[in-house]
């Protein structure tokens, strides 16, 4: 019987240990983006105060991913405690994200919405617990992934997962999946905007793996599958933010890796042609929607056109007034019912159908308005349809109210605004959200309102603003900006601490990539440069996309994992440089 030598046994144990170490990172890179599971989530008492018409939420994407993230971090902790490496010091720069999380904890503790601040709200789960997981992913990625080959292997598995995500998105884009409207690719990520954020991380990763590979057959396979999937998800996301950030990342990667690209110019020419072909094919199938979305990346692109703009909705006793960019309509509700007048007080003619309880306006500027009414001794109600925007009024105890979200009668809220006047539709309504969210920062300098509590602090009864945004009944649950998300959640100071770490990483990476010469194509210095360049490009792409999108549990763990491993690679590269210098001297 053959008995393995001690060296063989030690080697086998080492291989098993590497596999075990990789498991939590495989969960983050492969399982979390792909998995979806239907979980019925009952509202806690805080969400119950906002969502009065329902008692539960059917979650398909976020909760299951948050559970797997927590499981991955727990495995990392166990592996870290068992390894007990004493040769790795704690980087001082990690004090920035650690102190960032201290402010997350404090903001959670002092929040008026502690349940949501700790666990996060439904359909998001970006509370204190998830933020803690992100920081631990950053730290454990630094400590546990110590080999370049490990990261390359994990990246390849991550890109295989991106192929699965793309395959799941094809039926949605083509309209084969009847549950989704055509061209709206949310895939297994859950939202087209986040599909775009996912793709801008995958694209530099796919390009680096192609660069890192020597075999022409494998390189062709990576080009067709990995880069093709990333490009499909990018274009099919219909996200202008993703288009802009992907372009910036591609330019940066091309500049940093220009030597490698020159050596392999035929492959990158093929990549360029392949990308243009995918774009033209998808644009043709979507009847030009991709090109139209590309035009919207222009910051001066006007999405308003001649669209009606609501300037004000006001209430006073039994009267109301709707002021728009074209006309003013005054409404009065007395014993005889609803009456209407123009800006000067002159009566506006309406046609009433008492049987159908329907009204129509015939006067010139108001001719596009229709409505329904109910009038009796106990109840007087009016709903107007103004160019597809509904607004309801109810007379209660002698006073006229507006029907707000949840179907509750309310007074009109006039929140403080900052910027985007008349440009509220900028970036698919983000101008409206940001203009109302920015003034909230005045009370979030040192501590925020609690992570993931934006739903509670946003002025939900801003009637005129909501009409311009989309609809009065819409509940704004996120700021659509990662930096606002952090600043409002845990404070401006916490955001500054986190940005200090990220800026350090960017400067350090740029310095290394610019000053270090390329020694070979794979492994060693060349391999490190390629991977660091890809991580840096992915980080910057994520940061640009984050101007228009929030953190989400389907994508953000990969971002934090890349930051952790990138930090480790920077340290390793500096140590190698120092060894070379010492040897040369």
pLDDT along the chain (585 residues), means of 10: 54 67 94 96 91 89 96 94 74 96 98 96 95 97 89 95 96 78 85 96 94 90 96 94 92 87 88 95 91 74 70 92 93 88 88 87 86 83 92 90 88 89 83 95 96 95 90 91 98 97 96 69 62 95 96 97 94 74 58
User: Do 149 and 260 have their domain in common?
Assistant: yes
User: Do 237 and 276 have their domain in common?
Assistant: yes
What was the pLDDT predicted at 425? 81
Residue with tokens 């980087």: 91
| Cα 114 from Cα 102, distance rounded (Å) | 16
User: Do 59 and 96 have their domain in common?
Assistant: yes
Q: Is residue 415 part of a domain?
A: no
Answer left, alpha or beta for residue 294, where phi above 0 means left and psi between -120 and 50 means alpha: alpha
Under a CB-based contact definition with an 8 Å cutoff, are residues 485 and 479 in contact?
yes
Query: Within 13 A of 172's CA, how many CA atoms are on the CB side?
Result: 22
User: Do 358 and 244 have their domain in common?
Assistant: no
Among residues 373, 389, 410, which one ends one of the domains?
410
User: Do 492 and 377 have their domain in common?
Assistant: no
Q: Is residue 497 part of a domain?
A: yes
Under a CB-based contact definition with an 8 Å cutoff, are residues 391 and 463 in contact?
yes
Task: For residue 132, give every residue at least 6 positions away whose Cβ sits within 8 Å of its Cβ, in sequence order, or none.
Answer: 101, 104
| Cα 51 from Cα 123, distance rounded (Å) | 13
Among residues 385, 410, 435, which one ends one of the domains?
410
User: Do 78 and 192 have their domain in common?
Assistant: yes
User: Do 199 and 229 have their domain in common?
Assistant: yes
In angstroms, the first-to-last Cα distance of the chain is 53
Among residues 386, 410, 434, which one ends one of the domains?
410
User: Do 175 and 273 have their domain in common?
Assistant: yes
| Cα 476 from Cα 109, distance rounded (Å) | 24
If 0-12 CB within 10 Å is exposed, 13-18 middle and 19+ buried, where does residue 578 land?
exposed
Which contiguous run of DSSP H or E holds residue 321? strand 319-324
DSSP state, residue 120? -
Domains in the chain, number? 2
Under a CB-based contact definition with an 8 Å cutoff, are residues 548 and 241 in contact?
yes
Collapse the DSSP code of 451 into the 3-class scheme (helix H, G, I; strand E, B; otherwise coil) and give the result.
coil
277-293 exposure pattern, b = at least 16 Cβ within 10 A, e = fewer: ebbeebbebbeeebeeb
Under a CB-based contact definition with an 8 Å cutoff, are residues 281 and 361 in contact?
no
Residue with tokens 């669209």: 307
Minimal CA–CA distance to 393: which of 445, 300, 330, 481?
330
Under a CB-based contact definition with an 8 Å cutoff, are residues 185 and 245 in contact?
no
What was the pLDDT predicted at 521? 41
User: Do 14 and 108 have their domain in common?
Assistant: yes
User: Do 154 and 204 have their domain in common?
Assistant: yes
């Amino acid at each position: 019987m053959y008995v393995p030598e001690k060296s063989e046994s030690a080697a086998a144990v080492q291989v098993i240990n590497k596999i075990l170490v990789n498991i939590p990172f495989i969960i983050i890179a492969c399982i979390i983006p792909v998995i979806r599971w239907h979980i019925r989530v009952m509202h806690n008492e805080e969400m119950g105060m906002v969502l009065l018409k329902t008692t539960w939420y059917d979650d398909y994407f976020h909760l299951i991913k948050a559970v797997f993230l927590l499981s991955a971090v727990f495995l990392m902790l166990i592996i870290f405690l068992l390894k007990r490496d004493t040769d790795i010091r704690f980087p001082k720069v990690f004090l920035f994200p650690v102190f960032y999380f201290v402010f997350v904890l404090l903001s959670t503790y002092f929040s008026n919405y502690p349940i949501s601040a700790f666990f996060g709200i439904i359909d998001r789960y970006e509370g204190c617990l998830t933020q803690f997981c992100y920081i631990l992913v950053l730290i454990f990625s630094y400590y546990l992934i110590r080999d370049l080959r490990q990261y390359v292997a994990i990246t390849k598995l991550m890109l295989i997962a991106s192929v699965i995500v793309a395959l799941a998105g094809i039926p949605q884009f083509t309209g084969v999946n009847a549950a989704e409207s055509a061209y709206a690719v949310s895939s297994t990520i859950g939202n087209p905007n986040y599909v775009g954020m996912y793709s801008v991380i995958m694209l530099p990763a796919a390009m680096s793996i192609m660069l890192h590979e020597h075999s022409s057959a494998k390189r062709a396979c990576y080009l067709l599958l990995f880069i093709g999937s990333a490009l499909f998800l990018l274009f099919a996301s219909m996200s202008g933010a993703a288009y802009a950030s992907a372009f910036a990342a591609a330019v940066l990667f091309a500049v940093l890796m220009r030597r490698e690209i020159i050596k392999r110019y035929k492959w990158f020419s093929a990549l360029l042609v392949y990308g243009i072909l995918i774009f033209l094919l998808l644009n043709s199938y979507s009847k030009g929607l991709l090109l139209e979305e590309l035009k919207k990346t222009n910051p001066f692109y006007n999405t308003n056109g001649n669209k009606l703009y609501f300037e004000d909705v006001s209430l006073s006793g039994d009267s109301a007034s709707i002021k728009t960019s074209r006309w003013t309509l005054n409404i009065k509700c007395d014993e005889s019912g609803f009456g209407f007048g123009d800006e000067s007080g002159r009566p506006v003619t309406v046609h009433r159908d008492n049987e159908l309880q329907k009204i129509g306006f015939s006067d010139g500027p108001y001719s596009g308005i229709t409505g329904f009414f109910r009038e009796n001794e106990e109840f007087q109600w009016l709903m107007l349809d103004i160019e597809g925007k509904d607004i309801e009024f109810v007379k209660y105890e002698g006073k006229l109210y507006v029907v707000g979200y949840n179907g509750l009668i309310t007074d009109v809220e006039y929140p403080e605004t900052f910027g985007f006047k008349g440009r509220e539709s900028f970036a698919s309504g983000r101008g409206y959200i940001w203009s109302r969210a920015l003034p909230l920062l005045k009370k979030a300098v040192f501590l925020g309102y609690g992570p993931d509590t934006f739903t509670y602090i946003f002025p939900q009864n801003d009637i005129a603003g909501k009409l311009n945004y989309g609809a009065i009944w819409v509940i704004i649950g996120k700021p659509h900006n990662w930096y606002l998300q952090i600043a409002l959640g845990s404070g401006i100071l916490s955001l500054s601490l986190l940005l200090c770490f990220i800026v350090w990483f960017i400067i350090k990476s740029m310095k290394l990539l610019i000053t270090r010469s390329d020694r070979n194509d794979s492994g060693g210095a060349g391999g490190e440069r390629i991977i660091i360049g890809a991580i840096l490009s992915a980080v910057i792409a994520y940061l640009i996309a984050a101007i228009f999108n929030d953190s989400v549990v389907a994508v953000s763990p990969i971002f934090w994992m890349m930051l952790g491993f990138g930090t480790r690679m920077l340290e390793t590269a500096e140590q190698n440089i120092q060894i070379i210098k010492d040897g040369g001297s």
